[in-house]
Amino acid sequence: MTTDRYGQANLNLWNEWAIIHEKSASYDVEGFKSGKLSLHQLELEEVGDVSGKSLLHLQCHFGLDTLSWARLGATVTGIDFSDKAIEIARRLSCELDIPATFILSDVYGLPDVLDGQFDIVFTSYGVLCWLRDIGRWAHIVAHFLKPGGMFYIAELHPFAYVFDDEADTPELKVRYPYFGQSEPLEFEGDGSYAEPETPVSQRVHYEWDHRLGEIVTALIDAGLRIEFLHEFPYTVDGSMLPSMQLGDDGYYHLSEGDGIIPLMYSIKAQKLA
């Protein structure tokens, strides 16, 4: 499990955020309970039909996306290191009678607590910045995939993280390095991306930068064949950069310079037999 001070701070924060997010408007748990899916059009189209497939969801938070894949016919297993998130996910699964297995585990400890291999390994939006070692992560992805199985990630683009997210003008200003460092960046703040106004007691957290080349190369080194890498000039996270605007397409765009930089990407890969 998580033992170092970075992981412990992040775990404390995610435990607080899980409780806050369950009640937040943006996660819309009531909408989910009434039958809506929490998945975006992007991953629905790019992952495709999951019915009858086994799906492992890494860093599943409190399970809405995992349970959405179950609603679409997959046999799902979600894992997350936050005990509060897993508690909520299990409660929702029972309450809504959507079969799912939720496992409390750090990504890196998962091979010690979970057996088997899956048709699909899925993860999305705001996951890799919490992980120190992308090479190890990619090997864990490969470990849990059946030969021929599919890995899919939709994620916030690391290039967009170089800009000042606290600026008070929409003008893009470089603030952070693109080329990652071994020590994480320390952030201090009040609220989460979903509930910026709700304060938390764990005020400091840590994130690791991973450039796109590092992520793709790690997947290839782990034995996966990349089928595509798509980049998009819009995102699901309206707090990623200042003054983002929600477009008619349901994604957030830059209010100035819309279309000029990548804000999210997706990768589909196959485990070689």
Ligand X SMILES: C[S@@+](CC[C@H](N)C(=O)[O-])C[C@H]1O[C@@H](n2cnc3c(N)ncnc32)[C@H](O)[C@@H]1O
Residues binding ligand X (CB under 6 A)? 10, 14, 59, 61, 64-65, 80-82, 85, 106-107, 124-127, 130-131
Distance of CA 144 to the CA centre of its chain: 18
Residues in CB range of 251: below 8 A, 6 or more apart: 232, 234, 235, 236
SS3 247: coil
Of 130 and 151, which has the nearer Cβ to ligand X?
A: 130
Of 127 and 145, which has the nearer Cβ to ligand X?
A: 127
145-156/264-271 β-pairing: antiparallel
Cβ 256 to ligand X shortest distance, Å? 26
Cβ 128 to ligand X shortest distance, Å? 9
Of 14 and 172, which has the nearer Cβ to ligand X?
A: 14
| Calpha distance 145→117 (Å, rounded) | 5
Of 121 and 172, which has the nearer Cβ to ligand X?
A: 121
DSSP-assigned letter for residue 241: S
Cβ 24 to ligand X shortest distance, Å? 11
What is Dmax (Cα atoms) for the chain?
51
Cβ 101 to ligand X shortest distance, Å? 15
Cβ 260 to ligand X shortest distance, Å? 25
Tell me which residue of 273, 40, 266, 271 sits closest to 152, measured CA to CA.
266
Of 26 and 243, which has the nearer Cβ to ligand X?
A: 26
| Calpha distance 60→3 (Å, rounded) | 20
